[in-house]
Amino acid sequence: MKTIYKNMIKYSYICMCIFFFLLFAKKEDITGTIRMVGTSIFPDIVISTEERDYYFDKKFFDEYAQYVGQNITITAKVKKDTICLADRSKSFDRYTIKWSKKRIVFFISIFLII
């Protein structure tokens, strides 16, 4: 019983640390064009900027698929993954969006015109 209680305390501390890390992670403002890449079986949504491409996580597919071909600004938490070739001769960086919040920019421009 005592070991179960100690394990519960240990795991609760770990969960709290992960929660605070995600809560205070650096957020980026990303402005770019939404594109759909991949195959018809495995499509993927990407926001392309001048510097790099940011891949959306699978849970954002339905939400951002309607904006394909449009410029959009989002506030996002980005995770950087390094992908290596099989022989480890070259590596690539893949930026995956884990959390996002849309910012509506086009409504502001309409109100400024009026």
Tokens of 71: 């410029």
Residues in CB range of 32: below 8 A, 6 or more apart? 47, 48, 49, 54, 71, 72
Tokens of 110: 């309409």
Q: Is the pLDDT of residue 59 over 50?
A: yes
Measured CA to CA, the distance from residue 52 to residue 78 in angstroms comes to: 12
pTM above 0.85, yes or no: no
- The span from the CA of 39 to the CA of 49, in Å, is 21
CB 13 within 8 A of CB 21: no
Phi and psi at 112, nearest 5°, equal: -70, -30
In the chain, the domains with their CATH numbers are: 27-113 (2.40.50)
Residue 57: DSSP 8-state: P
CB 45 within 8 A of CB 34: yes
What pLDDT, on a 0 to 100 scale, did the predictor assign at position 31?
87
What is the residue type of 94? Answer: R
- The residue that leads in pLDDT, 70 or 5, is 70
Say yes or no to pLDDT of 112 above 70: no
The top-scoring range by mean pLDDT among 16-20, 76-80, 98-102 is: 76-80
Report, as an integer, the average pLDDT of 41-65: 87
pLDDT band at 110 (very low <50, low <70, confident <90, very high): very low
- Residues 18-42: pLDDT tens digits? 666 666 667 788 888 889 898 888 8
Separation CA 105–CA 74 (nearest Å): 10
> Distance between CA atoms of 27 and 8, rounded to whole angstroms?
31
Q: What is the pLDDT, as a whole number, of residue 107? A: 43
Res 19: pLDDT: 67
- If you average pLDDT over every residue of the chain, what do you get? 80
